[in-house]
Structure 1
Amino acid sequence: MDIQQRYNSALRLLKKYNQAHLLNFFNQLDDAGKTKLLNQIDEIEFDGLNEKIEKYVKKSAPVELPKNFSAAPVYPALPKTDEQKAKYAKAIAQGQKLISSGKVAAFVVAGGQGTRLGFDGPKGDFAISPIKNKTLFRLFAEQIVAAGAKYKFEPVWYIMTSPLNHEQTLDVFKKNDFFGLKKTNVFFFQQGTEVNYSADGKILLSEKDELAASPDGHGGSLRAIYKNGAAADMKTRGIEYISYFQVDNPLINIFDPLFVGLHALDNSQMSSKALAKAHPLEKVGNFCVIDGKVTVIEYSDLSDEQAQMKNSDGSLLFSAGSIAIHIINRAFVEQLNAKGFALPYHRAVKKISHIDLSSGKKIAPEKPNGIKLETFVFDALPLAEKSIILETLRSEEFAPVKNADGADSPAVTKQMMTARAADWLKAAGVSVPVKPDGTPDCIIEMAASFALHKEDIIAKAGSVKKINSGDKLYLES
C-alpha cells in the first residue's frame, strides 16, 4: 500500500472517530514525515476509543465507590502469635529456596526522568547514597549482585524504560559495565504510550508529523512485560516470580525471602507490601476488599470521614497504605495477556505542548490544557484469584526520592539511609553515637555487599571500628 492509499485509509478511520484533524498538515510533510505520522496513527487503539474519551477524558467526576467495602487483611511486619511465628519461619525457608533456585527475578519500573529533582537524565541515574554518591541504578545492581552471592544463584534484572529515557538508560549501563551484572542477565524493554487529548477529546499533535503522547503508567508494565518478550525470557530461564519495585526507592528489599515465601505458600498471584499510614489522610492508596477482592482505593477517592474510621480498639480501620512493591507470578501476567485485559485509566490534567490546528504553530501552554491518561499496576490486584499483603516498616524499606526539597527529597532519603544502617548496627551490638533527638550523630553508608538484611551484620559486628560523633563511615565487604 503506497502513502496515498494509507492516507485515504487513515482518513476514513479518523473521520469515524472524530480525529481527522490529525491529518491537517499531511500535505506539508515530506515522505518520511508522512510515513512517521501514518505509522503512529496505525498504533492507536481505535476499538473502544470513543468510550474511553467519554468516560475518562471528558469527565473528571470522582470514582464511585461501592457502598460496602472493608479493610484488607494484612500480615504484620513482625509475627504476633506462635502460629504466625511458625508460618513466617516456614515462609522464610520457602522464600530462600525459591530465590536460591533462580525462580525469582528483579523488575524495576524506570521510565521516569529526574525532572522534579532538578536532574537532566533517567531518574535511575540520580546519585543518592550519603557518602559515595551512588546512583539508584548502582544501589539496586549492588543489591542484586549481593543477593546472588548470598543465595548462590545467577540473578536476572528486568528494567522497563520509556521512550523518554530508553537510549539514555542503555548508555548508563554500558558506561558502567552493567554495574557488575552479566550483560545477558539484564533485560531492557520499553513501556507503552498513551496519546494525549484536549479537554474536548481531540488527540493532540506535538508536531505536524507526531502525535502528542506520554508513558502509559506503571500499569502498562503488565502488558509491556508480555509484549516485549520479557515474560517469554523469564519462562525460558525458569523464573516464576517477579519482584516488582519502582526506581525511586533506594531502601527496597528486592529479594525478600519472607515476602516471596508468604506469597508462594498462600498461592497468591499478585501480592503487595504495605505501610501503616502515618496519619489517616496520608496521600497513599488504601488497601481494601471489594466483592472479596483486594483492591486499592486512591486517597483522593476516599472521603475524609471514611479515611478516619476506627476499629473497635481505636486503631485506624484503613491503615494499610500502598507503596508499589509487589510479587507477581509470571503465569499471572501471561494469563492476563492471553485473555486480554484492560486496567482502568487515571486522568491527569497537565500542560501539554501541541500544534495549534489553525496556525500550525507550536504552543507551549502556561497552564494545564490537556489530558494524560495512565494506568496503575495496583489496579490488577482485583484480577488475581488470590492476593496477600505484608506490612513492612517505613524505616526499613521506604524512602522514595521524588522532590528536590521537603518531603521525599534527597536530604530526607539520605537521612533515612543512614538511620537504617545505624539501626542495623545497633541491633548487632555496635554502638552508634546519637544526637539529643535520637537520630544518628554520624553519617553511615552500608553497601549491599556488607549486609542485605539486619541479621547479616551479626557475624561482622566485631569488624566495625568505633564510631565517633561526626564520623562518616562507609561499610563494604
Structure 2
Amino acid sequence: MSTTTEVESLKAKYAEAGQEHLFTFYDKLSPEEQTSFFNQLSKLDIERVNRIFKKATSSEIAPGTDKQNLEPLPDDVFDSTLDANKSKIKEWEDLGLKLISQNKVAVLLMAGGQGTRLGSSAPKGCYDICLPSHKSLFQLQAERILRLQNIAQDGKTTEVIIPWYIMTSGPTRAATEAFFKQHNYFGLKEENVIFFEQGTLPALTNDGKIFLETKSKLAIAPDGNGGIYAALRDEKILDSLKARNISYVHAYCVDNCLVRVADPVFIGYCVSKNADCGAKVVRKTSPEEPVGVIALRNGKFNVVEYSEIDPSVAAQKKPNGQLSFGAGNIANHFYTVDFLNRVESFENELEYHIAKKKIKHCDKTSGELVSPSKPNGMKLELFVFDVFPFTERMAVLEVDRKEEFSPLKNAPGTGADDPDTSRRDIINQQVRFVENAGGKIVPGDGESFDNLNFEISPLVSYAGEKLEALKGKTIKTPAVIETLADLDKF
C-alpha cells in the first residue's frame, strides 16, 4: 500500500504534467483499486507521453501539403532477385547459411495482432488457413526454422540454433504462449523460443489529455509495431541477443504465409552490402497499387505511403521500364544487433503517427462510461520502418511476390489477402516446387488446379530444395508430403 506522501508526490508530478484529472476519483476507490491504479501511474513515463504528443501534433501536415522531396532508391543500395544472375543469388545464400551455421542469426517475429478481422478471437498466428495439414501460421514458420537449421547443420558438429523472439501484445501474450506449449513448440526447443511484449501508450484527447477507461484504469493501446525497438530494450531481448552472441536479426510480420524465415539469401545480401538495416520489397504492380514504397524523402530512407505520392510522380519510370517508385514495402527487415542497440540514441527523434479513434472512456465529471459515435481522440503509434531515416547503410532487396509475399488480413470470402488467397498461394508455390524438380501434379477426382488438396511440409523443403526424387514422377492429388520418406511413395 502506498503512503500518503507517495500519493501526494505522484499527484504533484501529474499536476505538473497537466494530467491531474486522472486523480479525479482516486480518493473514492477501494484500497485494492488505489494500489493498482497507483502502480499503473507510477510505471508510466508521463513526461515521455507529453513529449510524444507534442512532437506528433507539431509535425502534422495539412492534407495536400507537399511535405517531402522524393527521390527513387539509389542503385547502389538496391538489387533484385528477379534480375540478378543465379550465381550471385547463390553467393548471397551461401554467406547467409554460413552465418546461420555459426549461430550468428536470430529471428524477430511481430505477432501482437489478434485475428479479429478474420473472425477469430485468437492471436493471428494461431489461424488455420485450411491447408490439408491444418497447420497454423505459427507452425508453418516454426517448421521453416527447423528446416533451415537442418540445412545449415550440414557437416557441423556443434548444434545450429536460430533463436525465435516473438513479440506479442498484452491481449495476445498468454494465448500465444499457451498455444506454443500445447503444441510442444512445434519441435523447436523451448529455450530457443522467447516471448516478449510490445509497449503501450495511453489514449489521448485531441488536446493531449489521457483518457480514463474506468475510474481506476487508464485507457491504453499498443504503441504500434515500431514499439518493437523500445520493447527489445525494456524486455531485455537486447541482453539476450548479446548473451547468445547474435550479430544479425531478421524481422517480419506473422501474417505473411509465404515468409522465408531467416532467409539466408536476404541475410547474405545485406551482410555483403555491409548494411546496418535492410528491407525486402516486392515490385509494385502498377502506379496506383495502394502500397507504401521505400524511397528517399529529403535525402533519407523512408517508407512513403501511396497517398503521399503525386500520381505523376508515382507513374515515373526508370530506363528499364520499371517504376522509379516501385519498391513495395512488406515489413520484412534485416538489422545488425549494433543498429538495434543504437536506436535508443535517436529514439526521441522518432515521429509517432496519430490514429483518430472512437475511444470509450470514463467521463471525468460523472464517472459514467461514454461510448462515442465518432472519433473523439487519438492513439499514437510508431511504425517499424520509422527507423529508416536514421540508417547509415541501407540495403533493399526486391523479391518475387508470388514466392515470398501473401498477407493474411481479411475475413474469409473477401477475395483478397484472405485465408483462401493464402492457402492458394502456398499450394501454387508448392506445385512450382514439384515442377521445378521435374515432377508433375495431376488434380484428382473432383479437384482442379484452382482447388488442389496438396501440400509439402516446410520440414521437407524450405524453398524447393531436396525434391530431386520427384523428377519424372506424377503426383495425383490429394497428396501431402510430410516427411522425406513420403517422396518415395510416388
Corresponding residue for residue 429 of structure 1:
438
Number of positions where the alignment pairs a residue of Structure 1 with one of Structure 2: 468
Residues 70 and 29 of structure 1: is their aligned pair in 2 closer, same or farther, counting only changes over 3 Å?
same
2:151 maps to what in 1? 150
Please give the residue correspondences for 1:260-409 in structure 2 after superposition, counting only pairs within 5 Å.
260-337=267-344, 340-404=347-411, 405-409=414-418
Give 3-state SS (helix, strand or coil) of 2:394's partner: coil
Q: Which residue number corresponds to residue 448 of structure 1? A: 458
Q: CA deviation at 1:369?
A: 2.6
Q: Does 1:77 align with 2:72?
A: no
Q: Is the 8 A contact 1:72 1:287 kept in 2?
A: no
Residues 321-366 of structure 1 show CA distances to partners (whole Å, capped at 9, x for unaligned) of 1100011111111122256554211111122221112221122333
Q: Is the 8 A contact 2:125 2:254 kept in 1?
A: yes
1:6 touches 1:38 (CA, 8 Å); kept in 2? no
Query: Contact 2:105–2:248 at 8 Å: present in 1 too?
Result: yes
Indicate if the aligned counterparts of 1:57 and 1:201 stay in contact, CA closer than 8 A. no
Q: Whole-Å Cα distance in 1 between the matches of residues 25 and 370 of structure 2?
A: 16
Contact kept, 8 Å, 2:246 with 2:337, in 1: the verdict is: yes
* One-letter identity of the residue aligned with 1:246: C
Residue 417 of structure 1 aligns with which residue? Answer: 426
Determine if contact 2:123/2:172 at 8 Å carries over to the other structure. yes
Distance (whole Å) between structure 1 residues aligned to residue 352 and residue 480 of structure 2: 44
Structure 1 position 249, deviation (Å) = 1.0
- Inter-partner Cα distance in structure 2 for 1:133 and 1:368: 39
Greater shift in the superposed pair: 34-43 or 185-194: 34-43
Q: Structure 1: 5+ residue runs without aligned partners? A: none
Q: Which amino acid is 1:102 matched to? A: N
Q: Is the 8 A contact 2:302 2:389 kept in 1?
A: yes
Q: What TM-score, normalized by structure 1, do the two folds share?
A: 0.92
Cα separation, 2, equivalents of 1:341 and 1:231: 19
Match of 1:43 in 2: 43
- What CA distance in whole angstroms lies between the structure 2 residues aligned with 1:434 and 1:389? 39
2:238 to 223, 231, 240: 231
1:213 matched to which residue of 2?
Answer: 220
Superposition RMSD in Å: 2.3
* 2:316 match: secondary structure: coil
- Mean Cα displacement is larger for which, 18-27 or 334-343? 334-343
Contact 1:26 1:209 in 2 (8 A): yes
Q: Counterparts of 1:130-209 in structure 2 under 5 Å? A: 130-152=131-153, 153-209=160-216
Aligned letter for 1:414? Answer: R
Partner of 1:476: 482
Deviation at 1:286, TM superposition (A): 1.0
Give the Cα–Cα distance (whole angstroms) in 2 for the partners of residues 354 and 415 of structure 1. 43
* Pair 1:29 & 2:35 matched: no
State yes or no: 1:467 paired with 2:475.
yes
Q: Which stretch of structure 1 is more off in the superposition, 360-369 or 95-104?
A: 360-369
Specify the SS of the correspondent of 1:395: helix
Segment drifting more, 264-273 vs 122-131: 122-131
CA contact (8 A) 1:434 1:440 kept: no
1:4 offset after TM fit, Å? 2.4
Q: 1:3 to 1:209 in 2, by over 3 A?
A: farther
**Alignment check: 8 A CA contact 1:219 1:378 kept:** yes
Would you say the 8 A contact 2:2–2:35 is kept in 1? Answer: no
Instruction: Specify whether residues 174 and 208 from structure 1 end up closer, same or farther in structure 2 by C-alpha distance, changes over 3 A only.
Output: same
Post-superposition shift, 1:440? 4.8
Alignment of 1:45-60 (within 5 A): 45-47=45-47, 49-57=49-57
Shift of 1:450: 1.5
The answer to whether the 8 Å contact 1:79/1:88 transfers is no
Mean CA deviation greater in 352-361 or 182-191:
352-361
Conserved in 2, the CA contact under 8 Å of 1:102 and 1:154? yes
Q: Distance in 1 between matches of 2:451 and 2:174?
A: 41
Counterpart contact for 1:275–1:394, Cα < 8 Å? yes
8 Å contact from structure 1 (residues 433, 440) kept in 2: no
Which residue in the other structure is 2:20 paired with?
20
CA contact (8 A) 1:72 1:294 kept: no
Residue type matched to 2:457 in 1?
Answer: A
- Structure 1 distance, partners of 2:142, 2:354, is 34
Query: Does the residue aligned with 1:467 lie in a helix, a strand or coil?
Result: strand
Is contact 1:191–1:216 with CA below 8 Å preserved after alignment? Answer: yes
- Counterparts of 2:360 and 2:469, CA distance in 1: 55
Q: Aligned partners of 1:60, 1:297: CA distance in 2, in Å?
A: 14
Alpha-carbon distance change, 79 to 406 in structure 1, aligned in 2, over 3 angstroms: closer
Mapped to 2, the partners of 1:434 and 1:440 lie a distance apart of 9
Listed one character per residue, the Cα deviations across residues 69-106 of structure 1 (whole Å, up to 9, x for unaligned) are 333542112344xxx65543332221110011111111
Deviations 1:363-387 (A, max 9, x none): 2333333211111111112212101
Structure 1: distance between partners of 2:112 and 2:50: 28
Instruction: Decide whether aligned partners of structure 1 residues 406 and 355 sit closer, same or farther in structure 2, where only a CA change above 3 A counts.
Output: farther
Q: Give the distance between the partners of 1:425 and 1:41, measured in 2 at CA.
A: 58
Residues 129-162 of structure 1: CA deviation (Å, up to 9, x unaligned): 5212111111111111111112111221111111
- Is the 2:33–2:216 contact (alpha carbons within 8 Å) kept by the matching residues of 1? yes
- Amino acid corresponding to residue 78 of structure 1 in structure 2: L
CA contact (8 A) 1:57 1:371 kept: no
The one-letter code sitting in structure 1 at the alignment partner of 2:215 is K
SS of equivalent to 1:365: coil
Q: Which range moves more in the overlay, 8-17 or 138-147?
A: 8-17
Q: Is the 8 A contact 2:55 2:351 kept in 1?
A: no
User: 2:122 maps to which residue?
Assistant: 121
User: Normalising by structure 2, what TM-score?
Assistant: 0.89
Q: Partners of 1:57 and 1:164 in 2: how far apart?
A: 28
CA distance in 2, matches of 1:342, 1:100: 37
Measure the CA separation in 2 of the matches of 1:197 and 1:454.
49
Per mean C-alpha deviation after superposition, the further-off stretch among 337-346 and 327-336 is 337-346
8 Å contact kept, 1:161–1:169: yes
SS at 1:200 equivalent: coil
Task: Give the aligned residue type for 2:464.
Answer: K
How many angstroms does 1:110 deviate by? Answer: 0.7
Q: What is the distance in 1 between the residues matched to 2:74 and 2:328?
A: 11
* Percent identity for Structure 1 against Structure 2: 34
- Deviations for 1:15-67, whole angstroms, at most 9, x for unmatched residues? 22322111111112122222222222233333354453344358573585333
1:398 maps to a residue whose letter is F
